[in-house]
Each structure stands twice: as C-alpha cells, then as structure tokens.
Amino acid sequence: MTFSPDRPTMIEFRDVHKYYGDYHALRGINGTIRAGEFFSLLGPSGCGKTTLLRTIAGFEGIDNGAVLIDGKDMAKVPANARPTNMVFQSYAIFPHMSVAENVGFGLRRDPRSRTEKAAAVEEALEMVGLKGYGARAAHALSGGQRQRVALARALILKPKVLLLDEPLSALDKKMREHMQVELIKLQRQVGITFILVTHDQEEALVMSDRIAVMFEGQIAQLADPETLYRRPNGRKVADFIGTMNFIPCQILSETGGRIEVEAKGLGRVMLDEDQVPPARGEGEPVVGLRPETLTMLYPGQEPQERAVAGRIDEVIYFGDMTYYDVFIGGTDVEVRLSMRNVPGRPVLDVGTEVQLAWSPSALVLFR
C-alpha cells in the first residue's frame, strides 16, 4: 500500500446538514478525507452517499455546517470553480463524437493551442489504457472502454479530487472486478484523491484506503477496511460489512476496561477494551464472530486456542469455499472454510459431529 496516513487533509466535513424539503438527508456529517487517498462512501440505497458526494462537487448546497476543500470553505464557490471533477454512474459520453473529442470536451474553452490539447488528450488516453483509440467512434466502444473514456475526460482537467458515483455498477461482474483493479492502479499512478460512492461492500473493501460507512444520513464509522472488518463499532456496521455470527451472551463482570462474558455455546471469555466498541443501545448483548475465523478440526487435529463441540446442520458447497451451519449448543454458527486450508479433505455431511476451533481475540462485543 502506497498510501500514507500522514497526508494532509483534502476534504473536511464540519457538521454538514442537508434537507430536501422536510426530508433530512444529511444529519451532521463530520470527517476528513486526506490528499491522495482512495476513499469510499459506502452504505445502503438512500443513506445519502450520493448527496454527500454532490456537496463536494458543489451540485448540491448544504443547509448547515461547512465543506472545506484544501482548507477553503466551499460555501460560495460554484461547482465549476471547484478543484473537483465527477465521473457519473451512467458515464454519459457523447456517442456521436470520437473518443478524442469526448476526452477533449472539457478543454473546449482552454486557451492552449490545438496541438497542445491533442497531446493532453493522448496523455489522458494513455493513462487509462486507451492509447491510439482517439479516432474511434465513441458509440462503438464496450462498456469498460466507455468507462475509461469517462475517466480520461475527467482526468484531463487535472482535478485535485476525482468524484466517482457508482462508476462500475453498469458493468458485468468480471468487467467490474477488472476495472476495480484498473482504478486502483490509476489512482496510485495519478496520486490524486479519489472518492467513490458504492453500495457494494466488497468493492469498497478491495479498493479503499479508508471507508465511511453511512446509514440514514450519518457516518456510522470511518476507518480503514481492516478495522471495519475486524473491529466494527456497532452491530449495524458489522452486519453490513461481510457476514458475522451474532451469539447471545451475558455480561459477567467489568474490570479496568476488560469484560468477561458467557457466550452461548462458547462459554466464558475475557474481552479486551478494543473488542468492546463504545456504541450502546443496540438490544440484548451479543458477541460477533466472523465465519472465516472459525476452523473445523478434523480428527487428530489439536486446536491452537479454544475448541467447542458441534454438529453440522447445513452444508453449502461453493467450489473453493464450503459454508457450514454448525449447532454448538443453544445456537447455530456459520463457518466458512477455504478448501485451500484443507487440501484433499472431503466436504463433511450434515449430522457429522465436529470440533470448532475459535479464538477469543476474534470476538467483538455489542451491547
């Protein structure tokens, strides 16, 4: 990873509120996005991520608070005077124009000579892997190529911040995965701040240096992918990012930041401070445990840490992965095993008695 967390702030949200009529779409957004960061706004449909992106671009005014770009309050700065550029969901390119005309469109009022502009177009095309495509008709391009043209058109204006509103959502799965890698490479190459809107948690985890997870007009957690995955700060974030087993538990004691709980099927376990996010009031206490952190022990294998006896209730075979539901006394837990970790082992049948190894450090308490 080339991104350094010491980079200066590029975008700052200070208590940003936005109403559409009576509807409170952004409800006190705070946070910073750093220069050179690949940042994602992630959340379910309607949570306000596009609205927030549009407040950066200046397409949307705000009703309270401030949006700062590069240290400057944007309140009175119109969209066309901001150092940002947006690549849209539908990557609207002009089908009747050539690729080069599309890319050069933003330079039409630029005072540079025709030759200089042509060189800039060629440079932008090369950046997105479309060197030599300038004379092609835009309508004859594939979805992935159109996406690249849209990117080149935005990059040619040399913005400090590139805003991407679900740019890959129209592509099929394979192309989308390919373009995800391309976008990461491109961002590292140009080094400017990329801000991506997506509702796809996998996409956000794969691509981002940091992610703001949004629900109902608020940022629930702003962190790097690993922290979001390992230490979600609430049940909602834990549920939205990946899959998590929620196991009912009882709090036994609290001493000096450490909490001892009795979790159904797992027994007593002592949790450190960093395993107990501060957010409260989400219902009865549960411990969260990711399915990938559980390991099925085959006969003769000794557990590294703790093990619990269980019975397989359900098996779903995915080729390289197998998902099991295992009853561990009072509750079922999902276990996901990569077949790479168990070479040559057979897929186990429903009803098989197994031992599950688990690690206390993989638990998070939600209360």
Question: CB of residue 211 vs ligand ATP: minimum separation in angstroms?
Answer: 14
CB within 8 Å of 337: residues ≥ 6 apart:
295, 296, 321, 322, 324
Per-residue mark of binding to ligand ATP, 6-25 (x: CB under 6 A): --------------x--x-x
51 is an interface residue for ligand ATP by CB under 6 A:
yes
Nearer to ligand ATP, 58 or 134 (CB): 58
The DSSP bridge partners found for residue 317 are 322
DSSP 95: T
298 is an interface residue for ligand ATP by CB under 6 A:
no
267 is an interface residue for ligand ATP by CB under 6 A:
no
Question: 3-state DSSP call for residue 90?
Answer: coil
Question: CB of residue 241 vs ligand ATP: minimum separation in angstroms?
Answer: 16
Return d(Cα 196, Cα 209) in angstroms, integer.
Answer: 11
Nearer to ligand ATP, 43 or 265 (CB): 43
Angle between helices 143-155 and 114-127 (to 10 degrees): 130
CB-count burial class (<10 Å; 0-12, 13-18, 19+) for 173 = exposed
Residues 173-232 that bind ligand ATP (CB under 6 A): 199
Return d(Cα 78, Cα 38) in angstroms, integer.
Answer: 24
HSE toward the beta carbon, residue 110, CA cutoff 13 A = 17
48 is an interface residue for ligand ATP by CB under 6 A:
yes
Question: CB of residue 45 vs ligand ATP: minimum separation in angstroms?
Answer: 3
Nearer to ligand ATP, 49 or 176 (CB): 49
29 is an interface residue for ligand ATP by CB under 6 A:
no
Q: Which residue in 8, 46, 267, 329 binds ligand ATP (CB under 6 A)?
A: 46
Q: Which residue in 33, 47, 155, 271 binds ligand ATP (CB under 6 A)?
A: 47
Dihedral pair phi/psi, residue 204, rounded to 5°: -65, -45
HSE toward the beta carbon, residue 308, CA cutoff 13 A = 23
Nearer to ligand ATP, 51 or 147 (CB): 51
Q: Which residue in 10, 11, 39, 49 binds ligand ATP (CB under 6 A)?
A: 49
Single out the segment in contact with ligand ATP by CB under 6 A; choices: 41-49, 239-247, 283-291, 313-321.
41-49
Query: For the chain, what's the residue count?
Result: 367
